Amino acid sequence: MVALNAEGAIVLIGSCKWTNSPMDMTEYAALLADVKAVASGLKLDANEVGTAQGPWLALFSRAGFTPRLEQLAVPEEPQRLLLFALPTLYKEN
C-alpha cells in the first residue's frame, strides 16, 4: 500500500497480511527491506526509510501484532510505524 500527498510525494508505505498469526518483527523487517530495495525507483532516500525523515510505515493485520512489535511502534517520536489490527478498523467512535 502506498499513499501520496497532494504533490505526489510518498508519505506512507504499508503492508497487509491476512493470516491467523499476529504480525511479528519479521514483517516489519521485511517491509523495511522491501522499501529500501526499491527506494530509488520510488524517489526515496533509502537511508531515511524507517526514520522521522522518511515516509510513515504501516502494518495492517487480521490477527493483530506480537507484544514485541507493539513495543517497537510505541516509543518512536514522532511515531513512524502505525499498526492497524482488523478490529480497530471497524471500531465505532
Please report how many Cα atoms fall inside a 13 Å half-sphere around the Cα of residue 60, on the Cβ side: 11
Rounded to an integer, the average pLDDT of 1-13 is 91
| Residue ranges of domains in the chain | 23-75+82-93
Rounded to an integer, the average pLDDT of 63-89 is 84
Position of cell 524507517? Answer: 50
Rounded to an integer, the average pLDDT of 74-78 is 66
Question: What radius of gyration do the chain's Cα atoms show?
Answer: 13
Residue-wise pLDDT tens digits, 22-43: 999 999 999 999 999 998 888 8
Rounded CA gap, 34 and 47, in Å? 13
Of the given ranges (3-12, 19-28, 43-52, 64-73), which has the lowest mean pLDDT? Answer: 43-52
Entry pTM: 0.84
DSSP 22: -
